[in-house]
């Protein structure tokens, strides 16, 4: 494993060092990846905070700093980005256990770095509840170093469809142990915070009354800098066979719990003459499974258009879509939903508590029952421009009041600098 360099020696003692563990990289489509990117971006000139970010060196979703503008390499396993010190962890290909190995290895590196550089009162912020059996060990080790352990408990990892029953049981037990061994749980959803207290307040071996706070994810309401006739956008549309306001859109990780099967099946049932563009990091195994079930390749409206890492282009593609689908059924406040509410007028969301908590009356809702989404698509196709514009106005107002990155990053600054 990488031994981190010591290039922050001599920094003022009033700087709060925060170690972020759990995101695979910066700038990818996952919620934690978006969060880390935005947090470091908004705080890059903040003299009170110094971030240290763990990233994957290899495997699915790994970090390639050469693809991100503004990243400055230090050595093979370290680079600076947004004034944050980022370090990469090599992961052996050991199936589902990779995620556990990654977090454990990253925490070991954090502890080595803290000890070597004599960092006072560090905060280690762990994202997701993957390493429960090791939680007590690291909790004691970090406390011995004068630090504190903060946790983002995510949203029910044990419900994700990709896991087998034994692994789901592990995630549930791991969640219990992570909640027990943390100084503060930062929940990105009111529903998640409520769930934690219902599950763990005074429960047997688990800590009574875990300390929690609620901080959501954010979105950027600034319109894209690209014009409709920008060469970059025009070329992308031409390459993908799409036209402004003539496509439904989804952006997100290509996993079962994000309802890709239902969205594709229901769109194929709909009467819409528009396209359905899917911006996602395609997994061939899952894609082939969907093709066997749905035969979507025979429907020319269904278009897997690859990934878009250019943030301005992605924002413009969102703005120009006719409507946005959001099918996430696991998780708290999802970044892609808030970004859609901030840039797309018409949003069609799967009817779960997390999504309703965020969007309230600013979106239309569909259930996972057969026919529900197809019917809603046909309804959306018939909406007037004024009706769609009003939905967009309400959505942007909601985001502006509750979910700006400026507000969220300010709340994180308050939590981190209280220590």
* Under 8 Å between Cβ of 101 and 58: no
Quick one: 62 exposed, middle or buried, by C-beta within 10 A (0-12, 13-18, 19+)?
middle
- Identify any residues that bridge with 78 across adjacent strands, giving them in sequence order: 75, 87
- Nearest Cα neighbor of 210 from 180, 190, 250, 166 is 180
| Residue 278 within a domain | yes
- Nearest Cα neighbor of 232 from 345, 311, 304 is 311
Q: Are residues 384 and 410 in the same domain?
A: no
Q: Are residues 97 and 29 in the same domain?
A: yes
* Under 8 Å between Cβ of 204 and 176: no
| Residue 351 within a domain | yes
Total domains present in the chain = 2
| Residue 2 within a domain | no
The pLDDT value recorded for residue 334 is 77
Q: Are residues 166 and 139 in the same domain?
A: yes
Backbone angles phi, psi at 361, to 5 degrees: -95, 20
Q: Are residues 30 and 165 in the same domain?
A: yes
| Residue 223 within a domain | no
CA gyration radius for the chain? 22
Alpha helices in 29-72 (DSSP H): 31-42
Angstrom CA distances, 317 to 81, 323, 376, stand at: 26, 11, 22
Q: Are residues 57 and 177 in the same domain?
A: yes
- Which domain range does residue 273 map to? 231-401
CATH number, domain of 245, equals 3.40.50.2000
Q: Are residues 167 and 242 in the same domain?
A: no
| pLDDT tens string 35-84 | 999 999 999 999 999 999 999 999 888 898 988 889 999 999 999 999 99
**pTM exceeding 0.85:** no
Q: Are residues 174 and 257 in the same domain?
A: no
The pLDDT value recorded for residue 6 is 45
Q: Are residues 153 and 202 in the same domain?
A: yes
Q: How many CB atoms lie within 10 A of CB 108?
A: 15
| pLDDT tens string 249-258 | 999 889 888 9
CA–CA dist 185, 202 (Å, integer)? 16
| Residue 117 within a domain | yes
Q: Are residues 396 and 412 in the same domain?
A: no
Q: Are residues 187 and 309 in the same domain?
A: no
Q: Which residues of the chain have pLDDT under 50?
A: 1, 3, 6-12, 205
Alpha helices in 274-310 (DSSP H): 284-294
* Under 8 Å between Cβ of 415 and 358: no
Q: Are residues 96 and 128 in the same domain?
A: yes
| Residue 224 within a domain | no
| Residue 7 within a domain | no
């Amino acid at each position: 494993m990488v031994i981190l360099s010591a290039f922050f020696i001599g920094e003022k003692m009033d700087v709060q060092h925060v170690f972020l563990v759990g995101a695979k990289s910066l700038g990818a489509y996952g919620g934690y990846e978006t969060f880390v990117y935005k947090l470091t971006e908004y705080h890059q000139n903040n003299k009170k905070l110094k971030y240290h970010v763990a990233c994957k060196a290899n495997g699915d979703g790994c970090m390639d700093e050469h693809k991100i503008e503004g990243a400055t390499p230090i050595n093979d396993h370290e680079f600076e980005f947004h004034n944050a010190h980022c370090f990469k962890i090599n992961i052996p290909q050991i199936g589902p256990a990779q995620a556990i190995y990654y977090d454990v290895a990253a925490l070991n590196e954090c502890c080595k770095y803290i000890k070597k550089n004599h960092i006072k009162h560090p905060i280690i912020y762990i994202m997701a509840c993957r390493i429960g059996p090791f939680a007590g060990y690291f909790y004691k080790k970090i406390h011995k170093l004068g630090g504190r352990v903060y946790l983002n408990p995510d949203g029910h990892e044990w419900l994700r469809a990709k896991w087998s029953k034994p692994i789901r049981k592990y995630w549930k037990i791991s969640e219990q142990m992570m909640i027990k061994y943390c100084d503060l749980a930062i929940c990105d959803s009111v529903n998640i915070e409520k769930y934690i207290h219902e599950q763990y307040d005074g429960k047997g071996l688990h800590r009574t009354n875990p300390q929690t706070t609620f901080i959501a994810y954010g979105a950027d309401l600034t319109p894209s800098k690209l014009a409709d006739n920008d060469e970059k956008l025009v070329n992308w549309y031409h390459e993908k066979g799409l036209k402004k306001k003539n496509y439904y859109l989804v952006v997100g990780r290509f996993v079962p719990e994000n309802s890709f099967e239902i969205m594709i099946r229901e769109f194929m049932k709909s009467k819409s003459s528009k396209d359905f563009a899917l911006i996602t990091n395609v997994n061939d195994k899952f894609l082939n499974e969907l093709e066997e079930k749905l035969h979507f390749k025979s429907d020319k409206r269904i278009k897997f258009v690859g990934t878009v890492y250019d943030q301005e282009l992605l924002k413009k593609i969102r703005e120009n879509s006719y409507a946005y689908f959001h099918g996430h059924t696991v998780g708290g406040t999802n970044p892609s939903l808030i970004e859609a509410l901030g840039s797309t007028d018409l949003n069609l969301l799967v009817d779960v508590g997390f999504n309703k908590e965020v969007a309230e009356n600013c979106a239309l809702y569909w259930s996972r029952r057969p026919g529900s989404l197809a019917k809603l698509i046909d309804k959306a196709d018939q909406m007037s421009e004024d009706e769609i514009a009003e939905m967009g106005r309400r959505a942007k107002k909601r985001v502006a009041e509750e979910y700006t990155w400026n507000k969220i990053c300010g709340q994180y600054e308050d939590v981190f600098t209280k220590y």
